[in-house]
Structure 1
Amino acid sequence: MMVDLSSFSDEKFDPKKWINSACQSRHPQDPLDKHLMDLEMKLQMVSEEIAASLEEQSAAALLRVPRANRDVIRLRDDALSLRSSLSAILLKLKKAEGSSAESVATLAKVDTVKRRMEAAYETLQDAAGLTQLSSTVEEVFASGDLPRAAETLANMRHCLSAVGEVAEFANIRRQLEVLEDRLDSVVQPRLTDALSNRKVDVAQEMRAILLRIGRFKSLELHYTMVHLKPIRRLWEDFDLRQQANKVANEKSEMDRLSNSQNFQLSMISFSSWLTSFYDELLLYLEQEWKWCMFAFPEEYRTLVPNLLIEAMSTIGVSFASLINLAIGDAVPETKALAKGIIDISNGDLPKGAKIQTKHLEALIELHNTTGSFARNIQHLFSDADPQVFLDALKAVYLPYESFKRR
């Protein structure tokens, strides 16, 4: 019979229950007294084995105690030695910290002096270079090498900024301003020709010269000036057609042509003409956007929108006047007087004249036409600077501002 020792390790172990359980597990044919004697013998043998094992392990443990004690003593001595070493090191660090701080402060002062001496040396070099550049700049201009002239003026500007407001260089400062204006005036006709004839290489060269001398505004002004002329011609087309019809009408009257023919010649719808004007203007701006994207890859996002802003500002007064007349044409009474909403609001019409629904419908139609153009501009200038883009959209609707206040 095997003895299960796990039951003895249970905290709720009950000897009576264990004996009863052992008796119930005996074979029915085995006598009870013999079964109990066998069980007692096995328990005694197991107990003796456990006692022998415990005694053996205890003896071995006692042998290890002195060794462990020696290890603990050795570790304690090592710890004390390490603490002493660390204390000595900390003391040395504190002493070194004081001397290092003084050394660092001294080095900082030396470095400051060194940097000041280098700055003074560089300033002296700039002053010497400025004098030399001032004496040779006329020769550079005489050579006709515009990029070299721009580089020379840029170097002079750099040297002047380095030496500061020194009274001895005041004349050179004035000389530089005159030379920059002079170079700008030389670049103007070449840039105008390059923009007018789409000479990319020349335009880029002139751009580089102007940027080198800090004249980006000059580039913007020349670009706008060159391209504003064809836009003005597009806008003046309406007046030219009106004048041509007027001449034709006078000739028709002289030749006694029919009234229907005469009326047909004089009929020009500003609303339909405005649509064609917007189409041609949009096509022109698209072409400029593509060309500038190639010729001026860093500036096209501002150059073309600013061109539109300037164009709408230039024709704004005339635009508003034509809108007013077109609105007046919607009603026979105001058409006969060549007057519109603005004139009615200002009291320029006979007493009793008032704004009618047809006036407003004509204004809405023109505004919708402008709205379609604005949406096309929004698509074209999608990559433009946000602020410039907003200014361009405001410029498109600028002619309607006087009507919004009515």
Structure 2
Amino acid sequence: MAISSSSSSTKLVESLEQYDDAISWINDTLSAPESTNDLSGTSSTDLTELDQYITQLLTSLDIACEDTSAQLERIIDDVSRSVPRLTYDLHFMKDGALTLQTSLVDVLKKSKEAVPPETSTALDNLHHLDTIKTRMEAAREVLQEAESWSTLEMEVTSLIGERSYAKAAERLSEANKSMIVFQNTPEYDPRRALMVNLQNQLEASLSSALVSAINSQDVAVCKEYFSIFSIIQRESEFRNYYNASRRTSIVAMWQSASLSDSDNSSPDMNAPPQSFADFLPKFYTSFITLLNAERGSISSIFPDPSVTLSHFISSTFSALQPTFSQRLSSFASHHGETALSHLVDALRATEEFATGVWKIMEKMNYSDSRPPRQQAVPERPSGHRRRSSRMSISWRPGQQRPGSIAVPGGGPGDLNLENLEWDQELFQPFLDAQVDYASLERRFLDQALLDIISSDTRETSQQSVDQPRLFRERAVDLVGAAEGSMARCKAFTHGYGLVGLIQALDGFFSSFIDTWTVELESKPAAAQSYKFDSAESELELADLDYSAKDWSDIQLSLHLLASARTVSDRLNIFEAKLRSYLSQIASHFRLAQTDPQNFTIAATKGETQLLEQSTLNSAELFTLLSTVEQDAHGLSTPLPLSALHSGSFRTNPTQQQQQQPATPESLLVETRKSLSTFAKICQVSTQRTILLPLRNHLASYPSLSIWSAREDPKKSLATELQIPTFSLSPTDTVQRIAEGLLNLPRLFEVYADDDALAFSLQTLPYVDPEMLKNAVEQQQQHLDAPVNATQPGHHRRSSTVTFSKPAPIPIDPEVVSSTWLISLGHTFLNHLTTNVLPFIPSLSAPGVAQLGSDLEYLSNIVRALNVENEVLEVWRVAVNSEPADLRRDAQEAASDGKSDLIPLRVAKMRGLL
């Protein structure tokens, strides 16, 4: 609202008092002028007007503060002046009360003296006579009741014999009212026993006629009998007679069902067997037909038709043999691993039946003309939440915490909880299976995977298996099977099983990938031959020391790594769908919590109530839904409930810069770990094959004769004569290794456009994830920088690298090649310093010189590949050290108990220790 110059500070303070927080008041105060601005105005004009409004608002607030301070000072002054006078006022009031008390005593005394003694005596006599009369009337009533009880049995028996059931009921009702007279007396128990005996006689006399009237659907007679049963306080017995008689056909249908996948009590041998899933809708259809037929009769006979219908449904399900729970458990056991889909069908049929029952109850309420207070009106199924001793994460509207999402159980306002008993009786058998949803879902998915593998095995049993293609195809089938789990979770648990869904999917995907990882580790790499696509590339790399089998192994590992990348992309798409599904469930829960009359969780109140009180409604579910809603809004802090509900959350540009949308954490944590492990196995296999020729060259390196060669006498003479010497050339082995290392960049140029190399770079051995992340960020900054359009661009195909987040970050192929080369260099040097150099038996003086030359040469070569290896440097320094220095370092290592240090090993090789 615009703050005019005529607006008073009092009105401003009054408007501020209507808000709970100052931020909302400021936003509403400044938002109105924005909507009235001319749309064609410039942004500078809007900012100027906004600045004016803010200045005006600050001025008004200052005035209001001054006015408030002045008023507060005046109030304090008034109170300060009034407090000393308060003591005087209280003392004055006390004196007045004492004076009034004295006056009242005097008045009472004078009034007594004004009445003559004769009048006082007459009044006392009248009071005494009234007391005698009252006690005599009470004694007469007791004597009359005693006289009536003496003839009660004879009168009631006579009326029952005459079939005057209504009069007999009235007589018993009158006698029952007088039972209170005999309470706490020895006569109470005998008379109570007589009353019950006479009521039983009346009920027994009516039972056969009542059953006959119920079977013949004689509404008038049934209504008359119900009034008689009500008079003698036997309404429950009448309902039992009625329910037992009217449910006969439905109970018989249940008991005689011939089922092929569930327990039978006494099946009809003439009926063909059918599945429980096919029988249940037929059973419910017959039940709905019966309820529609009973709707009119119940409304005419009973004063509370909705409650009566609820009791009728509950008693019918309680009378089923075998029970619904037993038959449902047998049904689930019969179907084994695929039980979940069949249970979903059974639950869906049950929910359709429950919806039909609610429609019948609504019709009964609309057609009944009795006042609402005389009826038990069932509300629409809004998922009423009943108090439970178990901790619940549901929050009432007044208890809503900022940024939290309540998992509601329904709305308040239920006046009669008895209407829920049929509802809970109906859905209680499904509760155990719903609580065990995670296990059922995982078993269903595992069976789907087994079917997929069995199908693939039959198709590929007579031909060689293309492992990368098979891995991709099975992943496609797996994701397709997993997509159905969201619909099953919604249909079976109405969203309460989301935690179990995530656990089942994560375990399902990770188990599949782990199986491939184990298989890849246990089988030889070259299960199938792969060839280069380009003959030119093959000729270009012909000088590399690789066999056809080595090329096949490299190709196979890269194909598997590419398949892992494809599977990762497909999992990213599936996880996006899963996150969207979770967001929808969270929004639905929130709507049901804020508007329970129009939005419900499950089909009925009773079903929602059972789910809410179960262990599915847990703190984990609360956390999951809250996190999903926060991720959906791109915030790192919880979003207020009002903003989430109204969708009016707005921030200024500065806030938007401070609250950048964060990449959400993966929901499938174990799946991502398993996929990273699989990618690492593929990378290690690729590196092992690439470095195989270099390792073969090193096989004989520790046993070279140069290590134990004797020193040349001529060289000793030259040393004595101080003739200049030149550095030794590296051994042939080291030269071949150096050539192989320098040829590695050529190898990666062939695969520069292969996206498989960029997948999961952070799992490469000896790669620092922070260094890789910085390289990616620098590359991203370079790509985001403006580029001169006239400059010729090098359009190279870029790859992607993924960390723990699903969202990929672009990365240049040169960075990918460099990362692989660094990893290969460290891997090779680790093999050299761990499995080769320590096994050199001894070093003579020429051997020391030659090894120092080899290590120096290798150090320069690996630096060309951007590899800085500390262990290699320690070996090089130790080999080139003077004997005294090396002996000192080795002795220090020995004295510290560090017998595995490199100086100590080199000293032993050189014979210094």
TM-score, normalised via structure 1 length: 0.57
SS of 1:315's equivalent in the other structure is coil
SS of 2:197's equivalent in the other structure is helix
Instruction: Give 1:140 shift.
Output: 2.6
Instruction: Give 1:94 shift.
Output: 7.8
Residues 1:121 and 2:127 are matched in the alignment: no
SS of 1:303's equivalent in the other structure is helix
Task: Give the 3 Å change call, closer, same or farther, for CA 233–207 of structure 1 in structure 2.
Answer: same
Counterpart-to-counterpart distance in 2, 1:371 and 1:390: 14
SS of 1:167's equivalent in the other structure is coil
CA offsets 1:246-269 (integer angstroms, 9 cap, x no match) = 9679xxxxxxxxxxxxxxx65x23
Task: Give the 3 Å change call, closer, same or farther, for CA 137–363 of structure 1 in structure 2.
Answer: closer
Partner of residue 207, structure 2: 188
Q: Is the 8 A contact 1:223 1:303 kept in 2?
A: no
Q: 1:315 aligns with which of 320, 331, 338?
A: 320
Structure 1 segment 330-341 matched on structure 2, within 5 A: 338=334, 340=336
Q: Is the 8 A contact 1:292 1:300 kept in 2?
A: yes
Structure 1 segment 145-294 matched on structure 2, within 5 A: 145-167=164-186, 171-239=190-258, 268-294=274-300
Instruction: Give 1:144 shift.
Output: 2.5
Residues 1:370 and 2:350 are matched in the alignment: yes
Counterpart-to-counterpart distance in 2, 1:122 and 1:246: 65
Amino acid at match of 1:186: S
Counterpart-to-counterpart distance in 2, 1:108 and 1:136: 41
Counterpart-to-counterpart distance in 2, 1:173 and 1:270: 51
Residues 1:301 and 2:306 are matched in the alignment: yes
Amino acid at match of 1:370: T
Q: CA RMSD in A?
A: 3.9
Q: Is the 8 A contact 1:192 1:222 kept in 2?
A: yes
Partner of residue 345, structure 1: none
Q: Is the 8 A contact 2:307 2:418 kept in 1?
A: yes
Residues 1:387 and 2:417 are matched in the alignment: yes
Amino acid at match of 2:287: L
Q: 1:397 aligns with which of 409, 419, 427?
A: 427
Q: Is the 8 A contact 2:257 2:267 kept in 1?
A: no
Task: Give the 3 Å change call, closer, same or farther, for CA 128–324 of structure 1 in structure 2.
Answer: closer
SS of 1:239's equivalent in the other structure is coil
Counterpart-to-counterpart distance in 2, 1:322 and 1:134: 50
Instruction: Give 1:129 shift.
Output: 2.1
Counterpart-to-counterpart distance in 1, 2:286 and 2:423: 18
Structure 1 segment 30-45 matched on structure 2, within 5 A: none
Aligned pairs, how many? 276
**Larger helix proportion of the pair:** 1
Task: Give the 3 Å change call, closer, same or farther, for CA 136–277 of structure 1 in structure 2.
Answer: closer
Q: Which one has the largest radius of gyration? A: 1
Partner of residue 9, structure 1: none
Instruction: Give 1:217 shift.
Output: 1.7
Question: Percent of counterpart pairs with the same letter?
Answer: 21
Instruction: Give 1:229 shift.
Output: 1.4
Instruction: Give 1:321 shift.
Output: 3.7
Instruction: Give 1:236 shift.
Output: 2.9
Counterpart-to-counterpart distance in 2, 1:367 and 1:120: 66
Counterpart-to-counterpart distance in 1, 2:113 and 2:280: 84
TM-score, normalised via structure 2 length: 0.27
Counterpart-to-counterpart distance in 1, 2:339 and 2:276: 14
Q: Is the 8 A contact 1:316 1:399 kept in 2?
A: no
Task: Give the 3 Å change call, closer, same or farther, for CA 248–141 of structure 1 in structure 2.
Answer: closer
Task: Give the 3 Å change call, closer, same or farther, for CA 97–193 of structure 1 in structure 2.
Answer: farther
Counterpart-to-counterpart distance in 1, 2:224 and 2:270: 50
Q: Is the 8 A contact 1:130 1:159 kept in 2?
A: no
Instruction: Give 1:370 shift.
Output: 1.1
Task: Give the 3 Å change call, closer, same or farther, for CA 366–155 of structure 1 in structure 2.
Answer: same
CA offsets 1:370-394 (integer angstroms, 9 cap, x no match) = 1121222223234347312211110
Q: Is the 8 A contact 1:137 1:152 kept in 2?
A: yes
* Gap runs ≥5 in structure 1: 1-90, 250-264, 329-337, 341-355
Q: 2:149 aligns with which of 105, 130, 134?
A: 130
Amino acid at match of 1:391: E
Q: Is the 8 A contact 1:320 1:402 kept in 2?
A: no
Counterpart-to-counterpart distance in 2, 1:200 and 1:246: 33
Point out the more displaced range, 304-313 or 103-112. Answer: 103-112
Q: Is the 8 A contact 2:311 2:422 kept in 1?
A: yes
Counterpart-to-counterpart distance in 2, 1:131 and 1:122: 14
Counterpart-to-counterpart distance in 1, 2:156 and 2:224: 20
Task: Give the 3 Å change call, closer, same or farther, for CA 320–176 of structure 1 in structure 2.
Answer: closer
Amino acid at match of 1:392: W
Q: Is the 8 A contact 1:312 1:398 kept in 2?
A: no
Q: Is the 8 A contact 1:316 1:398 kept in 2?
A: no
